[in-house]
Amino acid sequence: MTHAEARHRPAPATMPRWPLYGMAALALSALAITGFARGTGIGVTGVPESPAVAAIDLVFADREDGSATVSDASGRLLATLPVSTEGFVRGATRALVRDRKRLGLGPEIPFRLERRANGRLSLGDPATGGRIELDAFGPSNSGAFARFLPTPGGR
């Protein structure tokens, strides 16, 4: 190798260490702040608990033809959901049923639909403790469940 070739030979590529230390410090501080916030509850958002002002226990059952029925706890038929309709009602109940199956529970205990004093509507599963805040999915979706609630002086 000549003297001229040695001058033009590139230096080995190395990454400076300070940016690596900075990235590690940033990642560790993000983990520390997240852990602190979760441990203390700072920054937690959610729907405050509110007492139920109307409630009904509902039983959802699939039928052989692909439709589904909605009954109250006494067995009175409230609605028949034809095939390929009521997607939100089917999806919301399917999510709660999936939790029951995961825990090895069956359909014996009805779901509980509640309108709360703060106006919010929720579908709960007393068997698992799970609850879906239906208003989070918009008024048309929560309305799909609201029709099952007893009305004052009605059912």
Tell me the pLDDT tens digit for each residue of 9-47.
666 677 788 888 999 999 999 999 988 888 887 877 766
Question: What would the mean pLDDT of 41-70 be, rounded to a whole number?
Answer: 84
- The pLDDT score that the predictor gives to residue 97 is 87
Chain position carrying tokens 């916030």 = 37
Q: Give the distance from CA 11 to its chain's centroid.
A: 55
Cβ-contact 96, 130 below 8 angstroms: yes
Give CA 58 to chain center in angstroms. 20
Question: pLDDT for 111-149, tens place per residue?
Answer: 999 999 988 999 999 988 889 999 989 999 989 999 999
**Global pTM value:** 0.65
